[in-house]
A = this chain, B = another copy of it.
């Protein structure tokens, strides 16, 4: 299969989210134009994005909402639930462990880890924080696939290597560091300070 641009995959997620909302409103079909208006893009872009994966629409009509919803879920690999382990039981880690937006979209938090003995054993949302050293042994039991890293920047690279060694093939990194991992491991980073700095740049250069 041809390599799909990151930007395309992101937009597919946006389309899907909107479709899941509009199907509740009972509309039978939707045009690329409508999808574009809500996703902040153009109709040509919508059609091109979808065309990488097949022909989902009917000419003159648009796309069947239930069919396209289902196709997008398939494309994005959301036809199944994914098991997530949170690594780092600090403020951000705990907030993520309790965040409903994960579970409701099929991402189930199955374990929370920390290396701080004082945090190990504390309970959050029915889950007990476990020590990082038990992660490798836990893999067989929980079979998590995605590791969410919410650890300090200084520890992030080392923790990432441990997570890769344990067998995770995907990492969502919240530490403000560039992670270096083997190519077979997928990484997405959410860097809050970096986003704020982007806004700072734009505010400072409003004049253009």
Binding site for B on A (CB under 8 A): 1, 3, 6, 9-10, 12-14, 16-18, 38-40, 75-78, 82, 84, 91-92, 94-96, 98-99, 101-102, 105, 107, 145-146, 169-172, 176-178, 180, 184, 186, 188, 190-208
Contact = CB atoms under 8 A, between A and B. Distances in A.
B99 A9 contact: no
A198 B98 contact: no
A208 B76 contact: no
Given A169-B203, A206-B184, A146 B190 contact: no
A105 B193 contact: yes
A103 to B, nearest CB: 10
B76 A197 contact: yes
A98 B92 CA distance: 9
A203 B39 contact: no
Contacts of A176: 17, 101
Nearest to A187: B199
A182 to B, nearest CB: 13
8 contacts: A9-B197, A13-B193, A40-B178, A77-B204, A92-B99, A169-B203, A172-B196, A172-B199
Contact of A208 (B1, B84, B96, B98): B1
A14 B204 contact: no
A77 B203 contact: yes
Contact of A77 (B18, B178, B192, B200): B200
A203 to B, nearest CB: 5
B101 A203 contact: no
Contacts of A192: 96, 99, 101-102, 172, 190
Nearest to A106: B200
A193 B101 contact: yes
Nearest to A18: B178
A93 to B, nearest CB: 9
A180 B39 CA distance: 10
Contacts of A203: 77, 82, 145-146, 169-170, 186
